[in-house]
Amino acid sequence: MKHKDILNKLRTSGLRPTKQRVEIAKFLFDREKTFHFTVESLNKLLLKKITTKFALATIYNTIHAFKKAGHLNKVEVRGKRSYFDTNITNHHHFYDSDTSELIDIDVKDVIIQKLPKAPNGKKIKNVEVFINLKN
């Protein structure tokens, strides 16, 4: 993803392309594979690049703005901190509690044959399958 595309991505999302946002967007979206991170891990990774100064709150702000704009998925897992996922298609997860690692599962790899119907007045928004791993 080129610099121009990043700027465009931000602008079309109604986000002013500030230095911080551009840096974070490049870091997150300029990659082949899907990327899972927590605010803490992202902060550490960004610190190594030092190109721009980031307050922790800015990372929170930016991540939430990206989330709101639909560029990130929030994945809440057992435990305290939230994970974010650059894969915004509908998908499922393996979770390895030993390493606290999330691994994407393509929707195609999970086929659900039977689901209960939603309680009265409610509809199903989405179905998340969470596969916990052990050794």
Between residues 82 and 86, which has the closer beta carbon with respect to a second copy? 82
Contact call for residues 135 and 101 (beta carbons, < 8 A): no
109 binds, among DNA, a second copy, none (CB under 5 to 8 A by kind): a second copy
- State in angstroms the smallest separation of the CB of 72 from a second copy: 14
Q: How far is the CB of 69 from a second copy (least distance, A)?
A: 19
List residues binding a second copy (CB under 8 A).
Answer: 74, 76-79, 94, 96, 103, 105-106, 109-116, 118-119, 121-135
Q: What is the smallest separation between the CB atom of 70 and DNA, expressed in angstroms? A: 15
Strand-pair partners of 76: 82
For the CA atoms of 45, 46, 47, 52, what is the dihedral angle to 10 degrees? Answer: 170
Rounded CA-CA distance 4/2 in Å is 5
Question: Least distance in Å: CB of 54 to DNA?
Answer: 5
Which residues are at the interface with DNA (CB under 7 A)? 11, 14-21, 38-40, 52-58, 60-62, 64-65, 80-82
**Contact of 29 with 86, CB cutoff 8 Å:** yes
Query: Comparing C-alpha atoms, which of 49, 88, 33 is closest to residue 66?
Result: 88
